[in-house]
Amino acid sequence: LSGSPGTGGSGVGGDGGPATLNTSGFDGAINTGSGGGGANADSSNATITGAGGSGVIILRYSNGLTATYSAGAGGAADAEVTIGSDKYIKITAGTGTVTFTGTATGRPSSPTEGILRNNTTIGALEFYNGTLWEQINMRVPTLVDFLVVGGGGGLGRANSGWYGGGGGGGGFRTSISSDGNGGGQTADNILSLSTGVTYTVTVGAGGGGGIGNDTPGTTGSDSVFATITSKGGGGGGTYEPGTNKNGLDGGSGGGGGGNDGITTGGAALTSPTIMGYAGGDHPAGSATAGAGGGGAGSAGQDGAQGTSGGTGGAGGAAKASNITSSAIYYAAGGGGRYGYYSAVNGAAGTNATGAANSGDGGTATSASGDGKAGIIILKYSADFTLTIGGNLTSSTSTVGGFKITTFTAGSDNIEFN
């Protein structure tokens, strides 16, 4: 609340009396609003008028509240007092503001429309609109573009020779409309985030290559920023008739394992949204090689069959992101392992970089077959600063009027200010 007590007006002279009784006007008492008294009109030395008494504002409120007075120009107020079940504060001069603090249970039982108070239960200012209490949003929105890529899946049966399916690329989600999401999907909306609020950032690790004859690749870990989750790529299958012959589902699916019978590639997950493509299959046929893992840009290829053993299926294509104003490719599928008689592995997906934090799936041309970690990139106005938790690995640059922050490892909270 804000306001100021009124200033008293001048009094008009009253009827005259004996000159010796009253030679000047009477001022009204302060903080009463009473008028000034006149002087004896017959007195030759009389001051004809007296000043009016100044006004006053007295506020009564529940004793569950605490009033804080902030003085403005010439402002003054008496200390808060408690009488029975109520409290009072008396504003005696100038301008100022009164803020009421209390819990939700301390709200006045009969509030006046427009009353302002600090609700310590919810940690927010609120006001009474005449019907109900409404919070006042003091936080400034920040528009944030993003790229969130999950960790790539691992190659199936990575250290045991033939037939393993390639790992799927990590899920690819972005707010850059010209790029779009993985799996041929429309981009997500730009995020409007509040200053002073913490948001989670988690960079997904790549899945490990399978160790042992019937060990599939491990599915990559999810990457998370605020409300955006990109799923890790599916691990590649092992070989038919092994228990783990099929590729695993993920942001993009892992490739099916090879050998003689049919295996299937992992699907691209549809929840929370589609963000990649499926892994390749393994058709029936002698000595057919492992299939390629799906990528953000296309599906993995099926494993090939040949009289001397098949060539591994190529991984699905990577997808370009332009969030940094330069096209960089992420989330390619890994190539499948060769068949029994062939030594030709499937290639990683088109535009695969195999770089750290690319989100690429584990590929047959890699010694370990491990998938690559994901990445999170944020683009926001250079007018804001970003507080970053100590468990995150990051770097920030400025391009034009924007800051670009890249996260490459860890999990913690961030806050815009």
Q: What is the DSSP string of 55-100?
A: --EEEEEETT-EEEEEE-TT-EEPPPEEETTEEEEEEEES-EEEEE
145 plus 48 within the same structural domain: no
- Chain-centre distance for alpha carbon 9: 58
**Residues 160-219 pLDDT 10s:** 667 899 999 999 999 999 999 999 999 999 999 998 899 999 999 999 999 877 899 999
Q: What whole-number distance in Å separates Cα of residue 249 and Cα of residue 294?
A: 10
* Domain shared by 262 and 338, yes or no: yes
Q: Give burial (CB, 10 Å; 0-12/13-18/19+) of 372.
A: buried
CB 216 within 8 A of CB 377: no
Instruction: Give tens-digit pLDDT for 121-140.
Output: 666 677 788 887 776 665 67
When mean pLDDT is compared across 3-7, 50-54, 283-287, 368-372, the lowest value belongs to: 3-7
pLDDT higher than threshold 80 for residue 37: no
Does one domain contain both 282 and 368?
yes
Residues 126 and 187 in one domain: no
The number of distinct structural domains making up the chain is: 2
In this structure, the chain runs to a length of: 417
Examine the domain organization and report whether 105 and 144 are in the same domain.
Answer: no
pLDDT number for residue 12: 46
Residues 177 and 261 in one domain: yes
Q: In this structure, are 74 and 192 located in the same domain?
A: no
Which of 258, 308, 249 lies closest to 281 in space, CA to CA?
Answer: 258
Based on the domain organization, do 168 and 78 belong to the same domain? no
Handedness of CA 179, 184, 186, 188 (dihedral sign): negative
pLDDT at residue 11 in the model: 47
Residue 275: domain span: 139-417
Using the 3D structure, point to which of 135, 155, 175 is the last residue of a domain. 135
Domain C-terminal end among 73, 105, 135 = 135
One domain, residues 103 and 245: no
Q: Using the 3D structure, point to which of 108, 135, 162 is the last residue of a domain.
A: 135
Is the same domain home to 129 and 254?
A: no
Same domain, 179 and 94: no
Cβ-based neighbours of 164, under 8 Å, separated by 6 or more: 155, 156, 157, 158, 210, 217, 236, 237, 238, 239, 257, 258, 290, 336, 337, 364, 369
Residue 12 and residue 148 in one domain: no
